[in-house]
Amino acid sequence: MAAQTFTQIATVANALPFERVEDLADRVKYMVFCAELNAYETIHVDKAASEADFEALALASLESNLCFCEDYEVCKWFADNDVAF
């Protein structure tokens, strides 16, 4: 289990300074966005969970996506920020 909540890791990721498209900050923020989108769709489109499940769904989605991520720098950033995957 991750040492941080999804909200905590999203806050840290979204605070990263943007320098250019596809830099590390942009790629990290994209991973967070994808996890948020998946949780949102699971709750509001698929109707497979309640709004109360958002945090857990987003974190599980992020961890799952990181398991298949081939971007070493992105994976390292999340690992360095206590996201287990």
Examine residue 12 and state whether it is found in any structural domain, yes or no.
yes
Examine residue 43 and state whether it is found in any structural domain, yes or no.
yes
Domain encompassing residue 73? 6-80
**Domains in the chain: how many in total?**
1
Examine residue 85 and state whether it is found in any structural domain, yes or no.
no
Examine residue 14 and state whether it is found in any structural domain, yes or no.
yes
Q: What is the pTM of this model?
A: 0.90
In a structure prediction context, what are the per-residue pLDDT tens digits for the chain, which is 85 residues long?
446 899 999 999 999 998 899 999 999 999 999 999 999 999 999 999 999 999 999 999 999 999 999 999 999 999 999 998 8
- Distance from C-alpha of 62 to C-alpha of 68, rounded to nearest angstrom: 10
Examine residue 50 and state whether it is found in any structural domain, yes or no.
yes
- Distance from C-alpha of 85 to C-alpha of 63, rounded to nearest angstrom: 5
Examine residue 1 and state whether it is found in any structural domain, yes or no.
no
Give yes or no for a contact between 36 and 14, defined as CB atoms under 8 angstroms apart: no
